[in-house]
């Protein structure tokens, strides 16, 4: 890989200097999906496919788009079984479809992982795939490639996981006693409880009642139980909650309205309208709780989950068929922002998959409300060109200081350092271009380097 | 014209090399609006205006926006008459408003047509308009400029027309026996039958019944007739259907629901809701039929047709007043994609006039479903900067291999080669920049050159 | 500041030449919010804060987003009082948050104002803030910095203000007799009368009745009164009206429907639906009146006004909490454009805060209807990168000649010349790049320089 990759060609000398400042900072990863057990168990990764292909829905969805089936890729089924295709055969399919990834972030992350983690500097090609498979497999068996050693090598200062409200956080407790060279903290993610249309809704509420020891048969009880678990998470180091419903709708109801709604929904059948109202109420209530307990509210709306009924039935959630849809932040957040938007104890980060909201809604909201910050480009938008569009669209209205630094949002452990590195390289180039274009001074850019790479996350997420 | 036009300045040497690969391929034009009779009759073009101005609604709408009336341009009226303005006078109006076309694709296509087809290399200006008119007029009378000779000169391997379901395809049959140096195939376009709010709906169904010999008084009969005609088109070389309704809505109804709906609509009056439901059902059913017979389904939704009632009444359809509107692909296609989205015999190409759907909906759908491909920038978006935005927005999520190559979609015969050439030049520059920006290797770019210019169309449209 | 700022690096020599043409033209400011009394009274500005900070909601909203309260900034409250914070203390808060403005247009306008108006060429920093405050304060007390002298210095040929229908226009009458070196004309802005959900609706209608001497208890009376005042404005030099409702909805009703609606609304309570219908009717009727009296209709829809109830209650309107929302121009304008869209006496300028409408709706409408022009980037979009996106998105469909030149839309008097200068610099760079990219010729660019800087505004706004 070229040493100046993604720094751009305009003002390259300065881009290099900015990048060197950014890369001197350790990684803060305040939102992600790595399992804490991975680090707790610290077992060697099984093989290159289970490390780099199977868990990466960016990769598996692209292969499916080219006609490859999940059976051919031995993707684990919802029932826990999987086809008996050999890892090397899956690897070969991947290699033969490698061209599909040209100009995608997956190509960059994969190629960068090979070089920076496995010291494989050649281009991945169908011809060299077998050789590269062997090289990775060999390394995976060495102690250097155990999860905890990688964690240290990656220079991670903080890693936040994403956890169910009823999680015992036992793994987090155990990890807190182990020297990892950095901290692992939980994040409170109550979607299972917030969305009555999820198949696990009743089970989630039962688990919440059990874990909190609080009866959840009334809405008031449900709120008490959530408050209890939010406090429990906070006591285990959590600084944030995360909410991934289809919309950002918020709604304030009276106590009796809430009890009636909850009672109606618990009895069932659940109408489409009641489900929508309930979700809006839950997002609103978590906002209120956030203003009380200070946990930072992360809002990730606008993904139409499990779009392919067939894939969901056979392989379960998170298998590449969550498709974005429009979100109307301004209307949907009106109730919540008029309740706590000016509350100095409330903090909210808005993410979007809908670029049309960048300049129209997200930036104008974050550029006025002290509680609101703009989340970095999310999911399909976590890529070089989309990040360029994102910075271009939000910065002129909200500046840099209403953003919160980079978030990797990944389940793929080995992609953490490369994702942060690519984002830092992009930002270094961006800042250098801003200097060249007379938008900021050189000293502004140097100060921004540390802010974008480290300080903004540290401060806003209370890390 | 500059020999390196539209190749960009970043990595120009490589862009030239890529362009030379692309331009070595013949033209595949799998979707367009040239009349087969043009080639069958093979008559000389009447004059420069009827060749280059009158049929080009990009040009006539722009002239109208600057205050020129369609009467002054002698645009044919819906009743077949037209004002008696002389072609040279129309040409003069065009020339006097030439500045309105600065930085538009019309300017490029027009200027390129002059040079590459008529060997007129000077800049078009009001001062030189008369001289250029004469030069073109003179050439139009020579055999070299007869439609078939131009077809050969343009190096067209395949040209698809757009045809009504009840078309006899006699012109196509006749053309198939003539040596054109390339093939002309029909495309099945059933909008007249699908949209009960069109004034020609009942006539279209009658014609369908007549052409198929199948009674269309029941929905089941209507479906049989459509299946019959789809097979007829397929036997005449068609490989695709095309659907241009206002939305992409699809809906699955039971047989009895469909019969009731159809019966209600046939009886009339037609409610807004029934019309919407009927269109959604028809798009759904054509998807099902496409999965059966393998005709590639092209979806061109989102144009609010005949927006100006006055212009439509006086001059008829396709006169520059089809205005884009929002399309919600994800929601609207849910029914169809969950029916045949994973069917290996189903193929669908999604076009859009709504840029906000590029990264939010179109690319995520095409980057997961094996049946879905992204159509190239359509209509108002078939231009250099819009194509840059389109490639930037879709490639990072769906790559290059979920696209289908360039489509000219034109009624203006002479613009076919220049449109393809401009698109190839743009792509050559794009790929060269991707190499410079470390997104692909040079050999990737060379391979992509042929894929984007030729192979992707050839394969997906089964040409 | 660098002498070539914002001209871009591609084709810089030509950009300089184009800029020199553009900057040779005086300023036409056909839409803005400067108070005519400012020029009539011609009193010295009180201090740097009341000149540059307090009235600039771009600046105050950004400070609030960073946790600064409006009390700390001594923003005037709705009741006319304000906190007793010293201007120098407010200035210090601004300076300490100066980093928040990096890469925003506010930074550019502020820094440019310092240099071009106050001859302060150093970078603004927290360290130098006090010194700069003193320099400005000293200058404000000299005659050279009286409003009228600044008006002359700014080389303003025409400045349009924004005025209530019932305004006596006494200030305008008085100003017309004073030699300012340029004209000040009113603009008719009837939103107070058009929106029955505004708290001042009934008062606005009363004032309209009084000022016109026409009874407004019937809809017909209301229309007569509006026609009367439009004529009054026209006789005082107005050439345009301005409409800033939440949507662009237009609706044609029969006379009896209009009377019934108006009667229902006057009686109250006002339903959400009736309010929407009334606004749509009013926009429609103003369109009809515009086709009669020739006042150019400016449409500024899509701002969700006074989003923060708390800020609105305490500080009133226009305090940074107007947040954009989606606008559906195509559907909403259907009624009006089908009534007067082809009327040669009708002129309309469409503004938007919703970038997704640039290429999808605004440009296609303006590129066909002779009456419709595209307003320049508005409000949050009046910035370098947004303007680039805007020109890129609209030009290929509508060209340059369906736009109307730059509009500053500002309440900040001193920002008028710098806003125009930044816009001209951008356009100069844009045109130079278009030449480099073979989209226009050099002579096209030179002609466009004067058209974009001066002629388009002059002609379309009838200045």
**DSSP-assigned states of every residue in C1-51:** --TTTTS-STTHHHHHHHHHHHHTSPEEE-S----HHHHHH-PPP--HHHH
CA distance C140 to A233: 57
CB atoms under 10 Å from CB of A318, counted, come to: 14
The pLDDT assigned to A278 comes to 98
Handedness of CA B117, B118, B123, B125 (dihedral sign): negative
pLDDT > 90: percent of chain C: 99
The mean per-residue pLDDT over the stretch C244-261 comes to: 97
Whether B69 has a pLDDT exceeding 90, the answer reads yes
Q: DSSP letters along C74-103, please?
A: TPPPTTS------HHHHHHHHHHTGGGGTT
How many Cβ contacts (< 8 angstroms) between chains A and C?
A: 123
Q: What is the pLDDT of residue A168?
A: 98
Across all residues in chain C, what is the average pLDDT? 97
Touching subunits of A (3+ CB pairs, under 8 Å) are B, C
Specify the CATH class of A45-145 in words. Answer: mainly alpha
Query: Do A12-44+151-460 and A45-145 have matching folds?
Result: no
Report how many Cβ contacts below 8 Å link chain A to chain B.
123
B1 pLDDT more than 90: no
* Local confidence band at C203 (pLDDT 50, 70, 90 cut-offs): very high
Nearest to A103 among B344, B367, B399 (CB): B399
Say if the Cβ atoms of C10 and B6 lie within 8 Å: no
- In CATH, what is the architecture of B163-176+188-460? Alpha-Beta Barrel (3.20)
**Partner residue opposite C380 with nearest CB, options A392, A397, A438:** A397
> A107 burial class (0-12, 13-18, 19+ CB within 10 angstroms)?
buried
C-beta of residue C441 within 8 angstroms of C-beta of residue C21: no
From C439, which residue of chain B is nearest by alpha-carbon distance? B103
Distance from CA of A12 to the nearest CA of C (A): 15
Nearest residue of chain A to residue B374 (CA atoms): A65
- How far apart (Å, rounded) are the C-alpha atoms in residues B412 and C156? 47
CB B324 within 8 A of CB B355: no
pLDDT digit string (tens) for B313-362? 999 999 999 999 999 999 999 999 999 999 999 999 999 999 999 999 99
8 A C-beta contact, residue A60 and residue A320: yes
CA distance A428 to A422: 10
pLDDT band with cut points at 50, 70 and 90 for residue C241: very high
Of the candidates C10, C360, C401, which has its C-beta nearest B324's C-beta?
Answer: C360
Residue-by-residue DSSP string for A109-149 = HHHHHHHHHH---SPP-TTTHHHHHHHHHHHHTSGGGSHHH
- C-contacting residues in B 52-91 (Cβ below 8 Å): 61-62, 64-67
Beta-ladder partners of B185: B160
Asked if A178 reaches chain B (Cβ–Cβ under 8 Å), the answer is: no
Pick from C12, C109, C23, C73: which is nearest to C412 by CA? Answer: C109
Chain B (102-161) residues lying within 8 Å, Cβ to Cβ, of chain A: none
Count the Cβ atoms, other than its own, within 10 Å of residue B304: 17
Q: Could you say which residues from 228 to 247 on chain B have a Cβ atom under 8 Å away from some Cβ of chain C?
A: none
A27 in C contact zone (CB under 8 Å):
no
Task: Choose among C341, C366, C401: nearest Cβ to B308.
Answer: C341
Closest CA to A59 of C226, C14, B367, C326: B367
pLDDT at C1: 85
Which of C411, C407, C252 minimizes the C-alpha distance to C336? C252
The answer to whether residue B390 neighbours chain A at the CB level (below 8 Å) is no
Domain boundaries, chain B: 44-145, 163-176+188-460
Residues of chain C neighbouring A330 (CB-CB closer than 8 A): 304, 307, 323-325
- Partners of C402 on chain B (C-beta within 8 Å) are 65-66, 100
Please give the backbone phi and psi of residue B296, each rounded to the nearest 5 degrees, phi first: -70, 130
User: Taking 90 as the threshold, does the pLDDT of residue B277 lie above it?
Assistant: yes
Q: Helices A105-118 & A415-436, crossing angle to 10 degrees?
A: 110
Paired tokens of C221:
């009376």
**Is residue A360 less than 8 Å (CB to CB) from chain C?**
yes
Decide: helix, strand or coil at residue C159.
Answer: strand
What strands lie across the sheet with C296-299, from one edge to the other? C240-243, C296-299, C348-350, C372-374
Distance from CA of A172 to the nearest CA of B (A): 34
Which CATH number does the domain C12-44+147-460 belong to among 3.40.50.280, 3.20.20.140, 3.40.50.300, 3.40.50.970?
Answer: 3.20.20.140
Tally of CA atoms within 13 A in the half-sphere of B59 that contains its CB: 28
Give C361's DSSP letter: I
- C365 part of contact set with chain B, CB < 8 Å: yes
Of A104, A321, A326, the CB nearest to B399: A104
Question: What is the bridge-based pairing of β-strands A323-324 and A303-304?
Answer: antiparallel
Our CA angle for C453, C455, C460, nearest 5°, is 115
Best mutation target among A369, A390, A403, A446 (most C Cβ atoms within 10 Å) is A369
CATH number of the structural domain B44-145: 1.10.2020.10
Average pLDDT over residues B228-232: 98
Q: What CATH class has A12-44+151-460?
A: alpha beta
Judged by a CB distance cut-off of 8 A, whether residue A356 touches chain B is yes
Across the interface, whether the CB atoms of B365 and A67 are under 8 A apart is answered: no
Indicate the pLDDT class of residue B229, thresholds 50, 70 and 90: very high
What subunits make at least 3 CB pairs under 8 angstroms with C? A, B
Q: Are strands B183-185 and A156-160 parallel, antiparallel or unpaired?
A: unpaired
Q: Say if CB C113 and CB C414 are below 8 A apart.
A: yes
CA of C154: how far to CAs of C53, C114, C420, in Å?
Answer: 20, 14, 10
Q: How far is C346 from chain A (nearest CA, A)?
A: 29
**Cα(A419)–Cα(A412) distance, integer angstroms:** 10
Q: Closest to A367 (Cβ–Cβ): which among C61, C107, C384?
A: C61
CA distance C17 to C418: 19
Per-residue confidence (pLDDT) for residue C22, from 0 to 100: 98
Burial class (CB in 10 A: 0-12, 13-18, 19+), C199: exposed
* Residues of chain A where predicted confidence (pLDDT) is lower than 70: none
* C7 interfaces chain A, CB cutoff of 8 Å: no
Q: Would you call the peptide bond into A144 cis, given omega within 30 degrees of 0 as the criterion?
A: no
């Amino acid at each position: 890989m070229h040493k100046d990759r993604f720094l751009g060609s305009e003002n390259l000398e300065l881009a290099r200097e900015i990048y060197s400042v950014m890369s001197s900072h350790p990684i803060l990863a305040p939102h992600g999906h790595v399992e804490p057990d991975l680090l707790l168990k610290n077992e060697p990764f099984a093989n290159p496919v289970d490390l780099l292909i199977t868990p990466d829905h960016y990769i598996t969805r692209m292969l499916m788009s080219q006609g490859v089936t999940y059976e051919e890729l031995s993707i684990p089924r919802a029932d826990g079984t999987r086809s008996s295709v050999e890892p090397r055969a899956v690897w070969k399919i991947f290699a033969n479809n490698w061209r599909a990834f040209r100009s995608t972030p997956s190509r960059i992350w994969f190629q960068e992982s090979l070089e920076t983690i496995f010291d494989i500097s050649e281009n991945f090609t169908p011809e060299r795939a077998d050789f590269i498979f062997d090289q990775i497999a060999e390394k995976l068996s060495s102690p250097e490639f155990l999860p905890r050693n990688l964690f240290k090598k990656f220079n991670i200062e903080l890693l936040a996981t994403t956890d169910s409200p009823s999680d015992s956080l036992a793994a987090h407790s155990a990890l807190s006693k182990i020297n990892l060279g950095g901290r692992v903290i939980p994040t409170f993610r109550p979607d299972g409880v917030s969305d009555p249309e999820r198949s696990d809704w009743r089970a989630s509420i039962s688990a919440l009642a059990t874990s909190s020891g609080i009866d959840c048969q009334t809405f008031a009880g449900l709120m008490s139980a959530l408050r209890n678990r939010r406090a429990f998470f906070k006591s285990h180091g959590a600084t944030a909650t995360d909410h991934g419903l289809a919309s950002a709708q918020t709604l304030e109801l009276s106590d009796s309205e809430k009890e009636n709604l909850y009672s109606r929904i618990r009895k069932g059948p659940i109408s489409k309208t009641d489900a929508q109202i309930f979700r809006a109420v839950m997002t609103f209530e978590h906002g209120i709780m956030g203003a009380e307990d200070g946990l930072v509210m992360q809002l990730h709306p606008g993904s139409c989950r499990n779009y392919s009924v067939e894939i969901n039935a056979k392989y379960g959630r998170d298998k590449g068929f969550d498709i974005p849809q429009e979100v109307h932040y301004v209307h949907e957040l009106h109730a919540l922002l008029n309740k706590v938007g000016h509350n100095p104890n409330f903090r909210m980060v808005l993410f979007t998959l809908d670029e049309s909201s960048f300049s129209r809604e997200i930036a104008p909201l974050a550029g006025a409300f002290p509680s609101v910050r703009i989340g970095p480009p999310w999911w399909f938008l976590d890529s070089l060109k989309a990040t360029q569009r994102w910075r271009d669209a939000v910065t002129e209205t909200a500046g840099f200081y209403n953003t919160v630094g980079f978030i990797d949002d990944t389940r793929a452990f080995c992609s953490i350092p490369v994702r942060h590195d690519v984002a830092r390289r992009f930002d270094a180039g961006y800042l250098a271009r801003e200097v060249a274009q007379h938008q900021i001074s050189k000293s502004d850019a140097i100060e921004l380097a540390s802010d974008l790479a480290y300080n903004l996350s540290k401060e806003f997420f209370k890390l």
